[in-house]
Amino acid sequence: MTYNFDEVIDRTNSFAVKTDFKARNHIPEDALAMWVADMDFATPPAVTEAISKRLSHPIYGYTHLGDNKYEAAIAWMKERHNWNVQADWIVHAPGVVPALGCIARAFLNTNEKLIIQQPVYPPFMSVPTNNQFEYLNNELVRVNGTYEMDLEDFEQKASDPAAKLFILCNPHNPVGRVWSKETLLQIADICLRHDILIVSDEIHHDLVFKGNTHIPMASLSPEISQITITCTAPSKTFNMAGLQAANIIIENPDLRARFVKELNRVGMETPNVFAGIASEAAYREGAAWLEQAIDYIEGNKQYVIQFAKEKLPMLHVLDSEATYLLWIDFNQLGLQPKRLQHFLNNEALVWMNAGSMFGESGNGFARMNIACPRSVVIEAMDRIERAIRLSHVPVGDTI
């Protein structure tokens, strides 16, 4: 079956965060919404059918996930990622971000710290800050147009006696790296030597472009698995974030018990009535849809990269290895972060995430969501080029 990713689906008045909160965020109504990380593609038909079938039963009471959901998730991890997961390792959570909050509270004491790697997904900063924990920033380093980890600095941060937890983003949001086995082993070795708990956010693990392979951190060795909490979900993979179904995978029973205790303490243990059936349908019947979606998104990525090379050479678009999020460097426009965001939102009329949200090193960048019809990507790039021309930036010349 061939799926239609060219279809433009109107999401306005559907309570979609992406489209229905423009006024609240001071965004012009006609700006293209290319920010928050969900797709503008219809969710796989198997998911819709499973939900519709459940909807036909008129009672939506308390529910449990059922063995079928766990079996489907286990088979998916084995087939897609060559990782043998057991059912009792998987803990349901309503999302990865709520899980991160529970992990921080379960495993950090007052005055203890966690390590992150900016530029990075904003909740990696807000979760510790909101829970009164300090974070140490092991800044990613730009090398030859991409990003690498600074392992020497990571070792130094990990040697801080107060450092107890490290949040890894793999594949990385927003820079799109799929970290190599060598890099993961080096990071894990440092964490093992310094008794650092690894929290591996792998929510984008299925959205990897051809030529790249995602390796779950916990799959590298039994020793690494014992110090790793892996955060996954079908939400990004199959565009079902609103169904609130995350799989937090923890082999170590002591770590798992502490995490579950915190989940229960804040009342997050009960799943959405549709979470289990939707997840099972996605994992069992969504592979073909996903393959076509990845190919389509990669086509969008290549369009943006080529457009920038030909018409906007002052921009640098990172050639990402995964995710449907592009990290675009606008620094050569010479605009301060707030001015850049105003320019994109109000003059180009393309609403993207401000790079400054991802840490200070994100200043001058923006994150573009390209999980949308090609026509929207084309319109966005045309708008950006037109706005730059009208602002008298010399398009075609490097500033």
Token readout for 317 is 């678009």
- Domain containing 380 — which CATH number? 3.90.1150.10
Of 237, 262, 285, which residue sits at a domain end?
Answer: 285
User: In 10 A of CB 390, how many CB atoms?
Assistant: 10
Residues 140 and 28 in one domain: no
For residues 178 and 245, give the distance between their C-alpha atoms in angstroms, rounded to a whole number.
Answer: 23
| 364 within a domain of the structure (yes/no) | yes
Per-residue pLDDT at 269:
86
Find, among 305, 122, 124, 277, the residue nearest to 200 by Cα. 124
Per-residue pLDDT at 292:
98
| 10 within a domain of the structure (yes/no) | no
Q: How high is the mean pLDDT in each 10-residue block of the chain (399 residues)?
A: 97 92 91 98 98 97 93 98 98 97 97 98 97 97 96 98 98 98 98 98 98 98 98 98 97 98 93 96 98 98 98 97 98 96 97 98 98 98 96 54
Residues 209 and 317 in one domain: no
Q: Which residues, including other chains, have CB under 8 Å from residue 231's CB and lie 6 or more apart?
A: 96, 99, 100, 199, 200, 201, 202, 203, 246, 248, 249
Per-residue pLDDT at 398:
41
| 399 within a domain of the structure (yes/no) | no
Find, among 224, 182, 179, 183, the residue nearest to 205 by Cα. 179
| 80 within a domain of the structure (yes/no) | yes
Of 268, 285, 302, which residue sits at a domain end?
Answer: 285
Q: What's the predicted TM-score (pTM) here?
A: 0.96
| 11 within a domain of the structure (yes/no) | no
Chain-centre distance of CA 117, in angstroms? 14
Per-residue pLDDT at 397:
44
Decide if 104 contacts 278 (C-beta within 8 A).
Answer: no
Per-residue pLDDT at 21:
86
Decide if 69 contacts 193 (C-beta within 8 A).
Answer: no
Residues 313 and 363 in one domain: yes
Number of domains in the chain: 2
For residue 330, the enclosing domain spans 17-44+287-388
Residues 194 and 79 in one domain: yes
Per-residue pLDDT at 393:
59
Of 269, 285, 301, which residue sits at a domain end?
Answer: 285
Per-residue pLDDT at 364:
98
For residues 354 and 364, give the distance between their C-alpha atoms in angstroms, rounded to a whole number.
Answer: 8
Residues 64 and 122 in one domain: yes
Per-residue pLDDT at 363:
98
